[in-house]
Amino acid sequence: DTGVSQDPRHKITKRGQNVTFRCDPISEHNRLYWYRQTLGQGPEFLTYFQNEAQLEKSRLLSDRFSAERPKGSFSTLEIQRTEQGDSAMYLCASSLFGQGNHEQYFGPGTRLTVT
């Protein structure tokens, strides 16, 4: 296992299109988090899962955003009807909750550009 992976690494889309990102966590990790990072800011929390259950969603997550983790393994984040303000780096992280330090391990991110 080489750590958290995200696909694609870069995505350019036109305003109004839908996009979907995928995150594969570290295999034994039961928690998976999505964050968004814009230029000059730290990552901002979007949502997180414990196994397949979505436990918390940020107010940043408008109804155009939906995230799933259907089998408690990989997760997808979909943005419908993209807007220019959605341009950002989308980060995924995973952790092993319930044992020890529950450190969050981050993926490389997916950079979204909406034109």
Partner 1 sequence: AQRVTQPEKLLSVFKGAPVELKCNYSYSGSPELFWYVQYSRQRLQLLLRHISRESIKGFTADLNKGETSFHLKKPFAQEEDSAMYYCALSGQGGNKLVFGAGTILRVKS
* Contact positions vs partner 1 (CB under 8 A): 3-4, 31, 33, 35, 40-45, 48, 56, 58, 91, 95, 97, 101-109
The span from the CA of 73 to the CA of 89, in Å, is 22
Q: Which is nearer to partner 1, 74 or 105 (CB)?
A: 105
Nearest approach, Cβ of residue 106 and partner 1 (Å):
4
Q: Which is nearer to partner 1, 79 or 91 (CB)?
A: 91
Q: Which is nearer to partner 1, 13 or 45 (CB)?
A: 45
Sequential DSSP letters for the chain = --S-EEE-SEEEE-TT--EEEEEE--TT--EEEEEEE-TTS--EEEEEEETTEEEEE-TT--TTEEEE-TTSS-EEEEESS--GGG-EEEEEEEE-TTSTT---EE---EEEEE-
Nearest approach, Cβ of residue 82 and partner 1 (Å):
24
Q: Which is nearer to partner 1, 2 or 14 (CB)?
A: 2
Nearest approach, Cβ of residue 18 and partner 1 (Å):
26
Nearest approach, Cβ of residue 88 and partner 1 (Å):
14
